[in-house]
A and B are shown apart, each in its own frame.
Chain A
């Protein structure tokens, strides 16, 4: 991990020697020179549906560019008022009501507003585009940031692990899924979408099954798996010789998976002690149907998986548009609530209030996850200092078309590589100084120690007058 990063930075420095180094590059080189103990870094992406409202994310001491100055009402998409870049310390500001569940971590919280992600079309969602910065709602055409980070950071059996409420998006009614599903969010590469586990019970058994098995059972299981994969590899060889080169290429996607499976099992076996130590207790809640119970179980498993070292990147999909938060007294689906605005939902809340309550439900779970990570010492701090929780939506800043102003709430840290405790608001779409979600993802890559390219994902032609290369400088420490 570090050698990659240092190599990149060394090359970058050499390449720019005669050009004079930008302050950013000087800072990066200084970091590369540091001989500090490298601690593992982790990410948790929590990607809700239906957008995250942006007008109620602005601390009261700051001018709110997302509401009408006359009546204080929320402005429509692309209608935010003009304003300069804002980079303020949250220490001097009052945290918006919506973010109160995270009030204990103001110094490790950063709110980012008005990054754009235009051009990734979709029906109420950008699908894979939200994390890959490509126009690819339903078909993965490029790797997503969570998978890239996972491939780089994870030393455990899973490069990245996903858990979702279900894989559906627009169906009315809510049905818990029994097993894996495809929420169309994460992909290891083009055409390699990641299946998410929807059942908390099955996620537990998959990740922590070793905690409830004897050593003999584990040994036998591993040996049988070895037999199985050897047999399948031999069987596939026979077919492979009969295929054309193009068909072989496709067939290798199948045969390569045997090695990956073998690798996962070997890594799990090495982690047996941690798995047994940190496995959560499986309760009836793991079979509950209420959305909040399922979300709670997913978060619980996520924290245990991170602590046990099963993966360094987890993506959670707490809801989809068909979900009904019945335990909040809402019989309207998330989709229906997205259309309510100031009209009232079944329990008397306005659409705005209902959305805030749903977001707070997620933020409360994020707070609990942070608490658990903060209780585990790591280096001079805690696991939370080396874990970044990213709360965002696949639909940007609104139920429809909110991609010109895409809010992100970051909690935790990446070993002091990020400026936390900030409110960052970028200038309006197309205005000087405006930045995109790709710049944020580049900052994640950089802070994670990855070789960071100049750009990430698809170019937005409407922003060709702006320099959109490199990570978000304001976020980097």
Chain B
């Protein structure tokens, strides 16, 4: 069925691309991806754009449409400036987690680059979006574009009706809380009235059947009763970690349109929630597949060596890992780490060493396609690294962990890539990708519904780490949304209260 197959041999030579060629490459890549490697993808929608449009897409974090806000202007100016100065090249593509999966290709790319990008985005990222559990659980690919269209219209409508200053105030405040505006666990779906009634009746019947006069004669402990009573009066009964959700539902002073704005920001934050936790895996997966698919095309003589050299040059740039003491070191490169891990898993399956057999008995010598597919579907960065980072890779990357402890005068090298350090190093690296470790634990503990309507948050410090000073500013934003006094209690690991910071509205 593939055109390339029918023609046989090279698809094209030279750097120029045409729409017809794009289509033929896409056919060829799709053929290999779907039929030889069994990648399951959403249908693709490939859009060719110019560099200015790429800058536009950057500003809104890749979404093709967004509501107007000055912070996007800032992002835009920042990117534009970096690009003009030549400090930063543009990404070759942007891909959106939607159904159909939209990928942007830049018109400046050569044919080889376009093919690489198609393999990377339209088959790599695309299959990741479709397969990974976080994306499946938290995003609905078919609805996101429509939702953003709605959000944009709604925000603009609010600006017309209530003035852009008031809208901007709400959005600014919501953006400040965005990182604490996502659900990490699914809420149970609310019960219908009928279900509620059934349950109520069952409980009553049960209580009635269990009723026994003798229990009434037991003396009650007064202290316990009092504390129970206090707990019952507390609202919310359980601490709530999704601050934006709590505001949307309970903020006493917000008008309906303001609540809807809070909701829009919350939904957007939730949409990006899986992305931030699968950066290494997602990029590693896509990079692995563009590498593998293009190699396969070369093996089938569909592309020439000039094409491969160009593709590999760009591939190498992307997957370069600098050492900590080299210029331009920006931490671990997710592309490099992800790609290396994906390749390493394949190697462990195909040609395991004795070490691999000890470390990965369950996958060593297995079917690499199945193992990779399983890893892609069921892991996020933290668990992926915790599970699959091999000693061999730690040696190759020369990984080492530095401990920065408050009580020590110096930084101490905690562990390095040696026999003693492998396990600890792997655990530390996995923790580094744990979102819950990166973000401070701040939850709503109390809303004085019948009193002064003040809101109390609790920040439980983890490992004595303090909040950045900006926290006060964020609190002021929170107070603006809440409309009444807001206070932030800080407690140590054991829950002992250390300090309270209050913002009166």
To the question of whether A and B form a pair in one complex, the answer is: no
